[in-house]
A and B are shown apart, each in its own frame.
Chain A
Amino acid sequence: MKIRFVFITGIFAGAAFFSRAQVPLFTTEGFAVPQPGHAFLFPQDHGAHPEFKLEWWYLTGHLFSKDGRRFGYQATFFRSAAPDKSTQVYLAHMAVIDAKTGKFYYQERLNREGWDADVELGGLNVHNGPWSLRMTDTKNSRMELHGGVRADALFALDLFPAKPLVIFGENGVSRKGAEPTAASYYLTFPRLRTTGTITFGSETIPVTGESWMDHEISSSQLGADQVGWDWAGIQFNDGREIMLYRLRLRDGMADPASSLTWVDAAGTPKKSTFTWEVLARWTSPSTGAVYPSRVRITTMDPATKQETAFTLEPLAQSQELAGRIGGIPYWEGACRVLSADGHEIGSAYLELTGYAKDLKL
């Protein structure tokens, strides 16, 4: 059964409302709140912001071997401050999908702040156990990622921005809900040229491809009525990207703060309206959650000023991270982007949270 969710965002009305609202400096717990007009300073702002409650460095990518084998990967490093601000814990998720076999590998790690998990303040250098992400060349924002899933799939990747950093949101703040504190600083490298290796067992495969990296800093990601979100980072073959998030309310509707942003070839973001249509669903045997498994997105293309529709089609249905350690089950999967006539026009990573249980951050 297809259920069609159509929503038209009241972007302009919302923006007017938000701009009038007073943004507090701190949440009730005492954590910093993202402030409009914040002046970012790099490479420092690639590092940690412990005055905020929550922060993540989120890499997803599509890799190809010389003989055409296709892989998707996810490498996420979370920092989360204790409610009493006494300490921090670091959660990390790694996942690899082999498109040929459909085999999905994932692993979670949780460590308290200390010798086995840490994030630098002055620049990008995060590690959690044997996994790490470092900016090795701050001038060119070149990065190095070491990750893996147990000993089943290990990857070592060099990441080099093909486009400048994008700061999403209005005046440097990405809104997530009606509450003035529900906002983040949202920094993205939407296209990173990627080279390196993936090792499966004793087979090491040289790969090249493209990655997407988000660095998001906040103290309150979701409003009280929001139960989760759907997010997609779409890289079109024509050199443009889309970042969209759809914040879901308890009644199944989308929050007006939901957003779709086009990034043109030069790296300039531009918001647009969109519709989200679930074409198929998949039930997780692990958590029992029912996730959208094929989604059609319709939006206004700022280049053509025409409505355009495309479908996100997962490389495999089973790309759920069960959240056994951190308690957050979600689906994060590599997808093909298909045009209305069925041609592959890009690659995407789709993230679906709050389906197994309400997402609480």
Chain B
Amino acid sequence: MSASLTALFLRRITLRHWRTSPKQSALLVLILSLGVAVFVSIRLANHAAVASFENFTGTLTGQSDWIIRAPAGTLPENILPELREALGSRPVHIFPIVEATASPPPEPGAENRFGRPTYTLMGLDLVGITNLARPQDKPFYGHAADSVQTEGSDDFWNAVKATPWLWISRDFAPILPTTLKLVIDETVRTLPVSGAIPTAADAPRAPANLFILDLAQLQAITGKNGRLDRVEFLVESGPRIAERRAELQPILEKLGRSGERWIVTTPGARRDAAETMTRAFRLNLTILSLIALLVGLYLIFQALDGAVVRRRPEIAILRSLGVEESTIRRGWLCESAILGLLGGALGLLLGWAGAQVSVRAVGQTVNALYYTTTVNSANLTPVEIGIGLALGLITALIAGWWPAREAARTPPAQVLQRGAAPAAGHRIMRSLAAGAGFVLAGLACAQLPPLHFEAGSRFPFAGYAAAFLWIFGAGILCAFLLPPIARLGIGAGGRSAAVRVALGHLRKPSGRHRLAAAALLCAIGMTAGMAILVASFDQTMQGWVRRTLQADLYISSSGAQSASSQNRISAAAAHDMASHAAVAHAALLVAYPIEIDHIPTILSGVDLDDPAIRPDLPWIAAPALDDPIFDSSRGSLRALVSETFTARFNLGRGDTVRLPTPDGVKSVVIAGVFADYGNERGSILIARRQVSTWFADDTITNVSLYVKPGVDPDTLRAELAQRYPGLSLFTNARLRNEVLRIFHQTFSITYALEVIGVLVAVTGLGLTLVSVLLDRRDELTTLRALGFQRREIALAASVEGLAVSICAAVGGLVLSLALGWLLIHVINKQSFGWTLSYALPWRQLAALALAVSATGWIVSYGVGLWGADLPADREE
């Protein structure tokens, strides 16, 4: 019985209203879909960015069972016979692998910009891989010196040629080029292309940024002769495979001396590490993407509440006819659910479209900060579709729950009374104490520590909870500003009847006014809060860049374009540049990615002895001036660590770090802590000579040159660039600009999310006024009867909208100060471990407040013009 009544309710009331005011219903669906879309697009982009971190060998060899790699540096090739001997006659494939990175040479005129693609060069034994006996491995045999071919041949001698040949992905170039120019280390090389990387018909294609060479060839090109980056093990298929996999691990662990010689891991663990590494970053983005949804939630609530008010007479009639409360509530919830599903579905489509754009932005950031990604498209999976629809549905149900309850509970007699006062809103929304309570609870949350994930990353859950509590609290408190603003406005508006009529409504704000103000405040608060964070970051970065970038020329391999680049400068080239007649001093830096207790970080070797070239570090905890770290002849094992390092490893000055090196584990004492905004993995600085000895590697990562007085750095730059075309040479000013450009690039997606939030909120304000005016259609009739012109009615609406906007802007700015503090001192500090100085971008904040108020005013004026034309007895 009640089910059929619900259906009748939907057909007779809901559908009729949707038919008579389709634009309003469409707007509701659109708002909801926008919220869902932002969330979905960020989720898809995140997903794609992580999914693209592949253990590239997986493309070729399938899933390896075990991987061994050095805790620091590379593995010597002579461990291979030892490994085969230890495995005896066990049927196991062993794949030694060398990896390197390369970039395309810069376009003419773009030599001074970072951000070119980073390609992964993978060297593996192209003869040995055929032992997997899969049809797709055969083409590795086939290439001819003068033509590109992809068909296999039996001539395996082709695969063992001494000349390097590249295999590239069809996704990189559908029509294969005959040669490819790449910057590898300091050299620009033109390599012939053998063919397309063969993959099985049912396997995913090789990623676009993966190039394959024969192991020995890549070793020769990169100077890694006799060295390996990792060794992968694949147990032959067959019976008892799980058992045989399991027995392999202890053998490898024992030979690797439990991590001292090498770390035994799995491809899954590598992917997990990549996922963990970016988890905080991705969670931050997800939280930001929820802002639009949160604002949308406010608006749906508001719109449904408005609909309840407008349909009260019908509800009252239904109640008088004996329809039960539960049936009416169910009817409203069904309506919410339908709106939610429609919004969710549309949101999925919009989100998918948005993801195609945002995925590049997310990919760029991940590339700059973490590892090489190949992401350039994001796909909707059934899980994502489910999440999108569920999000729309849940948001609509949450938003519709209170109006449904109100609709069901309203006594018929009260609602049948024409011209009933608009609802004042939920009790909580009118409670000063509740608002203050949320703020205080947020304050308490802000004091809590972050959640700790594996691999040293942290997530400031309590910090975000504090932000949400403050947003809710401020949303409630903000409405208390409406009456004083109205009083002020009436005072300032003088005798204008329109102003008096408009502001009169705000002296006792309705629930709808409160919600509109709260939604707008939420968007402004978050946007302005982020602006404060970015400005603080900017100011801190500028100071840091000014202080740490003192040399005149900065030189690195042109192939080093992202956080994962491994391109180096040969010792000969570095020393040649350092001894140039125009150079007064040269500082050389070497950097190696290492893992301490399975947490990745960076070990750098710097020249600390000579004060002239010693980096001027911004100290958090400075070492004494006569600390042995500044005198390598004293031979003490001391280190300087970044602030992020101390947070990741929970170590401080005076503590000892056990540092894995190819020369064994070294115990190093922390002599000082410095601020470093260059990476979030943390870094540990040690005397360069020491590091080079441990790693038995004389290549250099970066060279900084200080020119002699009177020498033009640009002239020297031009000379060296001609001599070393594979190197990137930045003058001081250019490098500073580049660092800041990359910094701003990483925030680009944040700006986009904020703009969407504000747009949703302003749309919501317009929607609120539509509802308000529909509610007041009798009043509008009266005003017209009293001689109000169309323009005056529009003016009244715009004043009302402006007052709500100003109230939200004021509240939002206050909220942003608190959120800015929270983002800088709690969320950022807990996520990345960076100390930032607080900066207020006043102009930006004022422009935001003005823009929102002006937009609110204009939208309200438009709505007012529409309202002025409303017929008096229109059924709404």
A17 on the B face (CB < 8 A): no
Q: Which listed segment binds B: A108-116, A236-244, A284-292, A297-305?
A: A108-116
The B-contacting residues of A in range 98-136, CB under 8 angstroms, are 107-112, 115-116, 127, 129-132
Q: A109–B131 contact, CB under 8 A?
A: yes
Query: Which single residue of chain A is at the shortest CB-CB distance from B93?
Result: A129
Distance (Å) between the CB of A137 and the closest chain B CB?
Answer: 19
Known contacts A89-B160, A202-B239; is-contact A107 B133 (Cβ 8 Å): yes
A151 on the B face (CB < 8 A): yes
Known contacts A110-B127, A201-B240; is-contact A87 B88 (Cβ 8 Å): no
* Residue with the highest number of chain B CB atoms closer than 10 Å, among A108, A111, A151: A151
The A-contacting residues of B in range 148-187, CB under 8 angstroms, are 153-157, 160, 162
Q: B239–A115 contact, CB under 8 A?
A: no
Distance (Å) between the CB of A134 and the closest chain B CB?
Answer: 12
Chain A residue total in the interface (Cβ 8 A): 34
A165 on the B face (CB < 8 A): no
Query: Which single residue of chain B is at the shortest CB-CB distance from A155?
Result: B89
Q: B128–A116 contact, CB under 8 A?
A: yes
Q: B131–A110 contact, CB under 8 A?
A: yes
A4 on the B face (CB < 8 A): no
Q: B89–A326 contact, CB under 8 A?
A: no
Query: Which single residue of chain B is at the shortest CB-CB distance from A91?
Result: B156
**Per-residue B-contact encoding for A310-325, CB less than 8 Å = 1, 0 else:** 0000000000000011
B84 on the A face (CB < 8 A): yes
Which B residues are in CB contact (< 8 Å) with A127? 84
B87 on the A face (CB < 8 A): yes
B384 on the A face (CB < 8 A): no
Distance (Å) between the CB of A5 and the closest chain B CB?
Answer: 29
Distance (Å) between the CB of B80 and the closest chain A CB?
Answer: 4
Known contacts A87-B160, A201-B239; is-contact A112 B89 (Cβ 8 Å): no
**Per-residue A-contact encoding for B120-138, CB less than 8 Å = 1, 0 else:** 0000010110110101001
Q: A151–B237 contact, CB under 8 A?
A: yes
Please measure, in the bound complex, the distance between the C-alpha atom of A76 and the C-alpha atom of B14, giving whole angstroms: 81
Known contacts A151-B240, A152-B239; is-contact A89 B156 (Cβ 8 Å): yes
Please measure, in the bound complex, the distance between the C-alpha atom of A334 and the C-alpha atom of B350, giving whole angstroms: 66
Q: A148–B89 contact, CB under 8 A?
A: yes
Please measure, in the bound complex, the distance between the C-alpha atom of A201 and the C-alpha atom of B94, giving whole angstroms: 21
Please measure, in the bound complex, the distance between the C-alpha atom of A112 and the C-alpha atom of B237, giving whole angstroms: 23
B77 on the A face (CB < 8 A): yes
Known contacts A107-B133, A115-B77; is-contact A146 B235 (Cβ 8 Å): no
A342 on the B face (CB < 8 A): no
Q: A156–B236 contact, CB under 8 A?
A: no
Q: B239–A111 contact, CB under 8 A?
A: no
Q: A152–B238 contact, CB under 8 A?
A: yes
Distance (Å) between the CB of A155 and the closest chain B CB?
Answer: 9
Please measure, in the bound complex, the distance between the C-alpha atom of A112 and the C-alpha atom of B162, giving whole angstroms: 13
Distance (Å) between the CB of B153 and the closest chain A CB?
Answer: 8
A150 on the B face (CB < 8 A): yes
Which B residues are in CB contact (< 8 Å) with A252? none
Query: Which single residue of chain A is at the shortest CB-CB distance from B214?
Result: A112
Q: B157–A130 contact, CB under 8 A?
A: no
Which A residues are in CB contact (< 8 Å) with B162? 86
Please measure, in the bound complex, the distance between the C-alpha atom of A131 and the C-alpha atom of B92, giving whole angstroms: 11
Q: A130–B89 contact, CB under 8 A?
A: yes
A265 on the B face (CB < 8 A): no
A154 on the B face (CB < 8 A): yes
Q: A115–B81 contact, CB under 8 A?
A: yes
Please measure, in the bound complex, the distance between the C-alpha atom of A86 and the C-alpha atom of B157, giving whole angstroms: 10
Query: Which single residue of chain B is at the shortest CB-CB distance from A108?
Result: B133
Which A residues are in CB contact (< 8 Å) with B846? none
A327 on the B face (CB < 8 A): yes
Please measure, in the bound complex, the distance between the C-alpha atom of A327 and the C-alpha atom of B91, giving whole angstroms: 23
Q: B157–A116 contact, CB under 8 A?
A: no
Distance (Å) between the CB of B142 and the closest chain A CB?
Answer: 11
Which A residues are in CB contact (< 8 Å) with B138? 324
Which A residues are in CB contact (< 8 Å) with B241? 151
Which A residues are in CB contact (< 8 Å) with B244? 151
Known contacts A89-B160, A115-B77, A116-B84; is-contact A148 B91 (Cβ 8 Å): yes
Which B residues are in CB contact (< 8 Å) with A202? 239-240
A83 on the B face (CB < 8 A): yes
Please measure, in the bound complex, the distance between the C-alpha atom of A129 and the C-alpha atom of B91, giving whole angstroms: 8
Distance (Å) between the CB of A38 and the closest chain B CB?
Answer: 29
B270 on the A face (CB < 8 A): no
Please measure, in the bound complex, the distance between the C-alpha atom of A314 and the C-alpha atom of B668, giving whole angstroms: 70
Known contacts A115-B77, A132-B89, A324-B138; is-contact A82 B157 (Cβ 8 Å): yes
The A-contacting residues of B in range 545-573, CB under 8 angstroms, are none
Please measure, in the bound complex, the distance between the C-alpha atom of A116 and the C-alpha atom of B128, giving whole angstroms: 9
Which B residues are in CB contact (< 8 Å) with A147? 89
B90 on the A face (CB < 8 A): yes
Q: B91–A130 contact, CB under 8 A?
A: yes
Please measure, in the bound complex, the distance between the C-alpha atom of A110 and the C-alpha atom of B240, giving whole angstroms: 25
Q: A111–B127 contact, CB under 8 A?
A: yes
Query: Which single residue of chain B is at the shortest CB-CB distance from A156?
Result: B89
Query: Which single residue of chain B is at the shortest CB-CB distance from A324?
Result: B133
Q: B133–A325 contact, CB under 8 A?
A: yes
Please measure, in the bound complex, the distance between the C-alpha atom of A328 and the C-alpha atom of B155, giving whole angstroms: 11
Which B residues are in CB contact (< 8 Å) with A130? 84, 87-92
Which B residues are in CB contact (< 8 Å) with A116? 80, 84, 94, 128
Please measure, in the bound complex, the distance between the C-alpha atom of A152 and the C-alpha atom of B128, giving whole angstroms: 20
Which A residues are in CB contact (< 8 Å) with B87? 130
Instruction: Select one of B92, B125, B130, B236 contacting A325, CB under 8 A.
Output: B130
Please measure, in the bound complex, the distance between the C-alpha atom of A152 and the C-alpha atom of B133, giving whole angstroms: 15
Q: A89–B127 contact, CB under 8 A?
A: yes
Please measure, in the bound complex, the distance between the C-alpha atom of A201 and the C-alpha atom of B241, giving whole angstroms: 9
Which B residues are in CB contact (< 8 Å) with A86? 162
Which B residues are in CB contact (< 8 Å) with A111? 125, 127-128, 131
Which B residues are in CB contact (< 8 Å) with A89? 127, 156-157, 160
Please measure, in the bound complex, the distance between the C-alpha atom of A326 and the C-alpha atom of B154, giving whole angstroms: 6
Instruction: Select one of B77, B91, B127, B153 contacting A151, CB under 8 A.
Output: B91
Q: B133–A154 contact, CB under 8 A?
A: no
Query: Which single residue of chain A is at the shortest CB-CB distance from B94?
Result: A116
Distance (Å) between the CB of A326 and the closest chain B CB?
Answer: 7
Which B residues are in CB contact (< 8 Å) with A148? 89, 91
Which B residues are in CB contact (< 8 Å) with A109? 131
Query: Which single residue of chain B is at the shortest CB-CB distance from A325?
Result: B130
Please measure, in the bound complex, the distance between the C-alpha atom of A160 and the C-alpha atom of B94, giving whole angstroms: 32
Which A residues are in CB contact (< 8 Å) with B131? 108-111, 129, 325
Please measure, in the bound complex, the distance between the C-alpha atom of A108 and the C-alpha atom of B137, giving whole angstroms: 14
Which B residues are in CB contact (< 8 Å) with A131? 89
Distance (Å) between the CB of B60 and the closest chain A CB?
Answer: 16
Please measure, in the bound complex, the distance between the C-alpha atom of A116 and the C-alpha atom of B83, giving whole angstroms: 10
Please measure, in the bound complex, the distance between the C-alpha atom of A130 and the C-alpha atom of B89, giving whole angstroms: 4
Please measure, in the bound complex, the distance between the C-alpha atom of A346 and the C-alpha atom of B442, giving whole angstroms: 91
Which B residues are in CB contact (< 8 Å) with A110? 127-128, 130-131, 156
Which A residues are in CB contact (< 8 Å) with B84? 115-116, 127, 129-130
Query: Which single residue of chain B is at the shortest CB-CB distance from A131?
Result: B89
Please measure, in the bound complex, the distance between the C-alpha atom of A146 and the C-alpha atom of B133, giving whole angstroms: 20
Query: Which single residue of chain A is at the shortest CB-CB distance from B78?
Result: A115
Q: B154–A112 contact, CB under 8 A?
A: no
Which A residues are in CB contact (< 8 Å) with B80? 115-116
Which A residues are in CB contact (< 8 Å) with B160? 82, 87, 89, 112
Please measure, in the bound complex, the distance between the C-alpha atom of A142 and the C-alpha atom of B700, giving whole angstroms: 55
4 closest Cβ pairs, A-B complex:
A327-B154, A151-B238, A201-B239, A146-B89
- Given pairs A115-B81, A151-B235, A325-B133, 6 additional interface contacts (CB within 8 A): A89-B127, A110-B127, A116-B80, A129-B131, A130-B88, A151-B237
Task: Return 23 A-B CB contacts under 8 Å, by A number.
Answer: A83-B157, A89-B160, A109-B131, A110-B128, A111-B125, A111-B127, A112-B160, A116-B80, A116-B128, A127-B84, A129-B84, A130-B84, A131-B89, A132-B89, A147-B89, A150-B236, A150-B237, A151-B240, A154-B91, A324-B135, A325-B133, A326-B154, A327-B156
On B, residues with C-beta under 8 Å from A are: 77, 80-81, 84, 87-94, 125, 127-128, 130-131, 133, 135, 138, 153-157, 160, 162, 235-241, 244
